[in-house]
């Protein structure tokens, strides 16, 4: 079954760190650039980060640049998002999404909720 399954969300204090994971199955993960997209409660979608198929390139939204790090382990078909120096405004559901060759997102996970609160 072609799917993405996120994990690692939870409640974390401001300034602390968290690592999210996204496990892929049903497709050749090592061929697929992967993204993280987030959605604050009651708000719209915001692209966060992308990593190339081989992990050699990463790009970030300005809102997270210097604080978040995207990485992948193709041997485990997993992509991670390391969230550092967390702020209240990082509270959101975080989705991983597969980038199609033509650059749109054709597969999404179910999301994992990150709540930043003291």
Rg of the chain over Cα atoms, rounded to whole angstroms, equals: 13
What is the DSSP secondary structure assignment for residue 32, as one 8-state letter? -
Helix (H) or strand (E) holding 22: strand 18-25
> What is the footprint of another protein within residues 17-36 (CB under 8 A)?
35
Q: 60 pairs with which residues across the strands?
A: 49
Number of residues that bind another protein (CB under 8 A): 20
Among 45, 53, 55, 58, binds another protein (CB under 8 A): 45
x/- letters, 75..114, toward another protein (CB under 8 A): --------------------x----x-xxxxx-xxxx---
Which residue, 13 or 104, has its beta carbon nearer to another protein? 104
CB neighbours of 100 closer than 8 A, spacing ≥ 6? 106
Strand pairing report for 58-60 and 45-51: antiparallel
Which residue, 27 or 108, has its beta carbon nearer to another protein? 108
Q: Enumerate binding residues for another protein (CB under 8 A).
A: 35, 37, 44-47, 50, 59, 61, 95, 100, 102-106, 108-111
């Amino acid at each position: 079954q072609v799917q993405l399954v996120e994990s690692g969300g939870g409640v974390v204090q401001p300034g602390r760190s968290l690592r999210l994971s996204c496990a892929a199955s049903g497709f050749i993960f090592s061929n697929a650039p992967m993204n993280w997209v987030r959605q604050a409660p009651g708000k719209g979608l915001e692209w966060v980060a992308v990593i190339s198929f081989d992990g050699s390139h990463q790009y970030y939204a300005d809102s997270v640049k210097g604080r978040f790090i995207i990485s992948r382990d193709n041997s485990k078909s997993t992509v991670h998002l390391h969230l550092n120096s967390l702020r209240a405004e990082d509270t959101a559901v975080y989705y991983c999404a597969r980038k199609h060759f033509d650059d749109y997102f054709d597969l999404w996970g179910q999301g994992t909720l990150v709540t930043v609160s003291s």
